[in-house]
Each structure stands twice: as C-alpha cells, then as structure tokens.
Amino acid sequence: MPYLNITEVESAVTSLAAAYPVSSQLITLPETSYEGRTAHALRIGTLTRAPKDSLIMIGGVHAREWGSCEVLIHFAADLLEAHRDGTGLGYGGTTFTADQVELLLRRLDLVVFPLVNPDGRRYSQTVQSMWRKNRNPANAGGDPHPNCVGVDLNRNYDFLFDFTTAFDPSANPQVSTDPCDPQVYAGPSAFSESETRNVRWLLDQNPGTRWFIDVHSYAQDMLYNWGDDENQSVDPDMNFHNSQYDGKRGLPGDLAYSEYIPKDDEDSARLLAEAFCQGVQGVRGVPYKPMTGFHLYPTSGTSDDYVYARHFTDADRGKVLGFTIEWGNDQAQSPNPFHPPWAEMQKIVLDVDAGLVQFCLAAI
C-alpha cells in the first residue's frame, strides 16, 4: 500500500468507526480548513461506568511528513482488531498479550486525530513535496511568491507566542514572524488557524486528557516538555508566564533562565518517553532517544508545550504531559527522508506503533 492521500485518510478513519461501533466513536472536528475540508478523529475505548483518563494523539500537522497519518491509522486499526478478536499484538520483537490490549482499552480513552492539516498534505502530495505549512493565504499581503502562503501549525499555539519578547535575542528559536518564511511562520496570532483551534477543541472537549502526543518526523526522538529552555525543578517563579524573565529564554547552559517543571512531572514524562523508546527498539533494534524538546532545538508555540502549559495558566484544567514523536532516520538513504520509500515506511510504522502501545501501558 502506498502513502494515503487525504481522501483515503478520511475514509480510513470513518471506516474504522463503522467497523468497530462497540469500541470506537467518530468525532467530527468543528472547523473546516481554509480550503473547506472537514476533519475527523476517532475515539477508541470500551465503555465503563467510571470516568477514564484520555490520551490524545495527532498527526499530519506538517504537510510533508506523510507517514505520520499512516502511523496513527495503523495504530488504531491494530488495537481495534486485536480487541475485537481477543488476540495480542506482535511487532517484530515487541509483543503484547490479549489481556494487555483489553486492559488498555478498558483503562484509557484514546483520541486519534491522524490528519490535522489536510490542505497542506494535498499540496505536498500533488504540487510541492517539501511543503510544510497549511494553505491559508490570508497574511501574505498580496505577495505573489508561492512561499508567502500558509502558517506552520506547530508554531501557532498559545505558548510564548511573542517569541521576540520572550527569548534572548541570540537564542534563535526555530520560528519566524515573516509570512514568506517557507518553513516556520507562526501566524499573526496564537490560534489564528482553524487547524490548531480544532486541536484546542479536542482538549477542551476531553477534560480527562492526561497525555498528548504529536507525531512528526524525522529524527528518531521522543521529545517531552519543555521546548523553550532547559528544565529545572528548583525555582517555580522562573516560568514561561513570568515577564521578569523576558529576553532571557532559549540559551543552553546559561544561568539566566531555565524552565520550571515539577520534579514528579519531569520524572513521569521521562519514564513514559523511555517506555516508548524501549517499545520501538524491541521491534528491530532501532534506537530512539528520549529527551526534552529544547535539546532538539528551542521553539515556541508548539503543541506539546501548549498542552502542558494550560494547567499552569488555569489550575482548573487538568495536567496534560506533552510529547512529540520524531519518527524516521536522519541517515535514511532516501531522496526525501520526510517520506521514505514505502517499504521502509511500513517498517517505521511497526516501530512507532509498538512504541505507542508500550507508552499507553506505561501510562496506565
């Protein structure tokens, strides 16, 4: 099977909901894309009397990272089929029993949103393969250059969105205020884009969410909070919403700023990231690295930091640990490592799906 186009992704999601009505539910996202497309997510889990914790997984945010949709669709299909048939799951050297599958669906609600950015994926698959952003031209200012369209959706969340104020001038976070930046334009304001508002809606509609995973490529990492600076658990006043530290964030190894995270949260996040990496490596020996997002590169406006930050800005919201998977191989012998040959992508899907199941079991 080759990579799915956007119609096939949506068909897969709706077909799974129809095929497994007892253990899944189709979710229609409220906002359409700029080009008028409606997106769907899938809730997976068995009905219970008691409220359950939730894990939200999203993919297809960056248009060129084609395999992220396939990772999540296969993950959902594997779990639903194994649960229905009362069987376990096998991914090479990583295996799970039928009892583990049953426990997972009984203890967790999984909300799987495989394709956040349908317009961008279509453009990447049909016009410009390395396209990353969405296709909203609203802020191009009449500039005819083809780069002057779209927003990097994973810079459009409400976390240190005003990075020019928040970061040290020499920090160079991977984000831009230039609408013609071909990669990391953040947009005119946080949540300016319907696609990121759909993700926020999922969080608001699922207050039992405790974990969030955004699937990307291609560095073979499992990232956890934070992404703006190095972590520290000593000084709670040194935090992202304290303007006293504006202009000091984003530099490695300095004493001026590190982002506060309670030690229990960091320990939990690291253990879950390690569990994911162990699940991946057991399949065929491919090593993934657990680390904070900052150690990939400094960022602002990302999904994983936004979901975790919500609890700090509003204590009535439940705490959500945020993660980003970077699947793939940065040494891939491929013309484009963002979409490796399908035969290799099939192996990556097995790797990552084993890691996701291992993550879920570690979470419960």
pLDDT in tens, 2-35: 899 999 999 999 999 999 999 999 999 999 999 9
Q: Is the pLDDT of residue 123 over 60?
A: yes
Question: Is the whole-model pTM more than 0.75?
Answer: yes
1 falls within a domain: no
149 falls within a domain: yes
Contacts of 114 (CB under 8 A, 6+ apart): 9, 12, 13, 41, 58, 59, 60, 68, 69, 72, 73, 76
341 falls within a domain: yes
At residue 139, the pLDDT reads: 78
53: pLDDT confidence band, cut at 50, 70 and 90? very high
The mean predicted confidence, pLDDT, of the chain is 95
Mean pLDDT confidence for 319-343: 84
pLDDT > 70 fraction of the chain, expressed in percent and rounded: 97
96 falls within a domain: yes
Mean pLDDT confidence for 241-261: 97
227 falls within a domain: yes
Q: Is the pLDDT of residue 337 over 90?
A: no
Mean pLDDT confidence for 241-255: 96
d(CA 193, CA 188): 9
User: Are 204 and 56 spatial neighbours (Cβ–Cβ below 8 Å)?
Assistant: no
pLDDT > 90 fraction of the chain, expressed in percent and rounded: 90
Name 111's bridge partners: 43, 56
Closest to 309 in 3D by CA, of 245, 233, 239, 237: 239
Name 291's bridge partners: 223
Name the DSSP letter for residue 211: E
23 falls within a domain: yes
At residue 143, the pLDDT reads: 65
pLDDT in tens, 178-236: 999 999 999 999 999 999 999 999 999 999 999 999 999 998 999 999 999 999 999 99
Q: Is the pLDDT of residue 332 over 80?
A: no
Q: Is the pLDDT of residue 320 over 80?
A: yes
Q: Say whether 13 sits in a helix, a strand or coil.
A: helix
161 falls within a domain: yes
The domain containing residue 318 runs over which residues? Answer: 6-363
306: pLDDT confidence band, cut at 50, 70 and 90? very high
326 falls within a domain: yes
At residue 216, the pLDDT reads: 97
At residue 48, the pLDDT reads: 75
Q: Is the pLDDT of residue 284 over 60?
A: yes
d(CA 319, CA 264): 12
pLDDT in tens, 63-121: 999 999 999 999 999 999 999 999 999 999 999 999 999 999 999 999 999 999 999 99
Total of domains in the chain: 1
Contacts of 126 (CB under 8 A, 6+ apart): none
Contacts of 258 (CB under 8 A, 6+ apart): 229, 230, 231, 232, 238
329: pLDDT confidence band, cut at 50, 70 and 90? confident
Residue bearing tokens 């949709």: 69
CB atoms inside a 10 Å sphere around CB 336: 13
Q: Is the pLDDT of residue 287 over 60?
A: yes
Task: Give the CATH number for residue 190.
Answer: 3.40.630.10
- Comparing 138 with 186, which gets the higher pLDDT? 186
